[in-house]
Chain A
Amino acid sequence: MTAELHEELTDPHADQLDHGAASSRPLKSRISEPQPRGAKIHGNRPVDQSEAANRFMAATEHEAMHDARLWDLRQKRDKEMHGIEEWEELRNLASGIKEHTLSKLDYYLELFEKNATANGIKIHWAKDGAEHNAIVLEILRSKGVERLIKSKSMLTEECGFREFMAENNVEVIETDLGERIQQLDDEAPSHVVVPAVHKLRTDVASVFAKTIGSDPDNADAHYLTECQREATRPLILSAQAGMTGGNFVVAETGTFVVCTNEGNADLSANTPPLHIASIGIEKLIPGLDDLAVFVRLLSRSALGSPITQYTSHFRGPRKGSEMHVVLVDNGRSARLGMEKFWPGLKCIRCGACMNTCPVFRRSGGLSYGATYAGPIGLIIDPTFNVHKYRNLPYSSTMNGSCTNVCPVKINIHEQIADWRKTLAGEGEISPVKKVMMKAAGEVLASPVVYRASLPLGRSALRHLPHFMLYNKLNTWGRKRDIPETPKQTFNEWYRKNRKQQDEGKKS
């Protein structure tokens, strides 16, 4: 959330940045539009992503801003990439380091535990979200903590941490602006890096007016950010404990690393006398040489800035304070054994695959109805619940752009295809798809039937009335026009133009 707008600093109005007085970039005014909400969740029933996506697309102001903002991040990422000659080498190294660590994960976890413990960090192990929440609650209760300040962590979203703490009368204050907006609106984050990116500034103004008493008619981003700073600061100063996640864990030095742009993790960790970090076991890397590779890649991939404003390294408690690390599995050790899907564990949560994905940009992260949205979500979510998330691997155009931008070279689009196969094999496929697949399967299984069907299909596409192509069964017809169909198939063209020539060459 950083360098992308730093050209504004040369703006004659740049001093306004200091006061929260006004926007230094005039934003176009637009019609007010209610915020489209995310996927409707019905217990364990499969999430209908396309239903929620349709509602997001119908909210044209939201869709346009979301699409433009994320595409802008993608372009800034490209600019950074072109500025670094060794970019592809860094990606190869990052992928290789993660694969190496995952092949010796038990060794590196124990090494981290040993080194961190020697420096005074207390290490805990949690097999799932419930155990994580119970461990943290026990630590908080032992210190009589009533208020906890917290920086953003996708892992705690996985664990349902905030809901659990609310039930147990611990007040949790999110200190990342985007995450705080989402907390105050009682909504999950829609993106791993920019949690409120699906909201217009008018949506934020209405949330803040209701919750922290800002002027409902002032939707200026500087004003809203300043209101939040002023409202949160007393809570930071009075909290008895702070919580962070961890982007990277360095086994050889017993260090965990947290990257933020707001400095909120440093405030959460350094202000109260107790710091708890919740970290997934896949975040391990061997040493400091390796850390350099990831720090160089993370923010460039995420936001197109050279580094996050704050990169914080915790290796032991401050004098007179306590530091705890909860290492959380929550399905990761099982995923390690999934032949096709273990590479998802290399993910460093940069969000580049989301920013580049045409489906994500136009449907919003909340349409996925899962902790992880976008391309990485399509391949991680089914490992948590194969039935509930069985439709997600179809929310992709299979253009492969996600794989191309991934800093750790996860084969995302191939895994999406593999999930479709796996889900079909497990009978996790919707009734409509089943009927269409069966018909398509019969045609595609026989070359003779397939060739015979092509001119038919072609002529049908040209002559069928619009309503037959763009109906509810053909989900691809929605929001898209079918390309103009050629007058002949490639086979027909080949037979007419080249076949004799080619056969002449052979003889």
Chain B
Amino acid sequence: MSGSREAILDTIRKNHVQGDRARPTVPLFDQAAPADLKALFQKSLERMGGKMLTPDAADPMAPVRQAIVKPGPVLSCVPEFQGDMQITPQTKPTDIAPVEYAVLRAAFGVAETGSLCFTEKQLLVNTTGFLPQHLVILLDPAQIVFNLHNAYQRPEWTQAHYAVFQSGPSATADIEGVLVHGAQGVRSLSVLFHPAS
């Protein structure tokens, strides 16, 4: 409705907030960043309800296999792990619905909040991050940034059409403040530190 567009913009121009309101410069607030971001990431992730898997140097994918404890289809979106299903160009978003576990790799992690960033590049089909019952996620420790200011310096934001921070599993406390995981999205989220090959 182009008439409304012009009417809205005209009213805004007429009513603009007056005075000098320069755009503030936002610092990165990262001077106190610890050398070991892994420990901080783990602490933050656990606070958000996520689980950290213990790495196994002899058999790197063993922790992933051990995390898969419930029956049902496993979907892998990473080359390191073999699942039961394949994503093809014909896969529809709703085809992910029966998946019990999806194995994904995060683009990067944020230590401040225990967040994992995914874009359509890692998800392949965007619903792989939300429709499975459980997620097992590989994160390269070299791809952890300290805080959200650092996170928004990354290139993903201007490359992807869709990008999401997942910080722990789906959660709700809408009924008397009682925390329940798996309100709509995934019921659990586990992370394994595993360098990208």
Residues of A within 8 A of B (CB): 1-6, 8-9, 17-18, 20, 23-25, 27, 65, 69, 72, 85-86, 92-93, 96-97, 99-100, 102-106, 109-110, 119-120, 124-127, 131, 135, 175-178, 181, 194-197, 199-201, 204, 221-222, 224-226, 228-229, 232-233, 236-237, 253, 255, 261-264, 266-267, 270-272, 281, 286, 288-293, 295-296, 305-318, 327, 329, 333-334, 336-337, 342
A18-B188, A124-B1, A262-B171 known; A253+B9 contact, CB < 8 A: no
- Identify 8 residue pairs between A and B in the complex whose beta-carbon atoms are under 8 Å apart, listed by A's number: A1-B172, A100-B23, A109-B12, A229-B183, A271-B94, A289-B26, A292-B147, A306-B167
CB pair A309 B168 closer than 8 Å: yes
Contact (Cβ within 8 A) B12 A177: no
Shortest CB-to-CB span from B80 to chain A, Å, is: 25
Is B162 positioned at the interface, with any CB of A under 8 Å from its CB?
Answer: yes
Cross-chain contact of B17 among A99, A266, A308 (Cβ < 8 A): A99
Residue in chain A with minimal CB distance to B186: A263
Q: Taking the nearest CB of chain B, how far is it from the CB of A197, in angstroms?
A: 8
Question: Contact flags (1/0) for B161-184 with A, using CB distance below 8 Å?
Answer: 111111111111111111111111
Is A131 a contact partner of B161 (Cβ separation < 8 A)? Answer: no
Interface Cβ pair total, 8 Å cutoff: 291
Task: State which residues 109-149 of B face A: CB under 8 Å.
Answer: 112-115, 120, 126-127, 129-131, 147-149
Q: In whole angstroms, what is the CA distance A102 to B13 when docked? A: 10
Question: A106 to nearest B CB, angstroms?
Answer: 5
Chain A hits for B172, CB < 8 A: 1, 177-178, 225, 261-262
CA distance A311 to B165 in the complex (A): 5
Contact of B12 among A2, A200, A267, A333 (CB under 8 A): A333
CA distance A224 to B183 in the complex (A): 10
**How far is the CB of A135 from the nearest CB of chain B, in Å?**
7
How many residues of B sit at the interface, in one of the four size bands? Answer: 35 or more
- A281: contacting residue among B8, B23, B149, CB under 8 A: B8
Bound together, the chains give a CA A335 to CA B164 distance in angstroms of 33
Q: Which of A100, A281, A311 contacts B115 (CB 8 A)?
A: A311
Q: B22 at the A/B interface (Cβ < 8 Å)?
A: yes
**A306 in contact with B44 (CB, 8 Å):** yes
Contact B158 A253 (CB under 8 A): yes
Contact of B164 among A4, A25, A102, A266 (CB under 8 A): A266
Partner-contacting stretch, out of B45-53, B54-62, B71-79: B45-53
In this complex, the member of B163, B168, B172, B174 whose beta carbon has the largest number of chain A beta carbons within 10 angstroms is: B174
> What 20 new A-B contacts, CB under 8 Å, besides A225-B175, A286-B23, A311-B164?
A1-B172, A2-B49, A2-B173, A17-B181, A18-B188, A20-B182, A27-B178, A96-B24, A109-B12, A127-B4, A196-B174, A222-B180, A229-B184, A232-B184, A253-B158, A295-B148, A306-B47, A306-B167, A315-B160, A318-B162
User: A2 to B114, alpha carbons, bound, how many Å?
Assistant: 13
Find chain A residues with CB under 8 A from B32 CB: 85
Is the Cβ of B175 less than 8 Å from the Cβ of A127? Answer: no
* B65 partner residues in chain A, CB cutoff 8 A: none
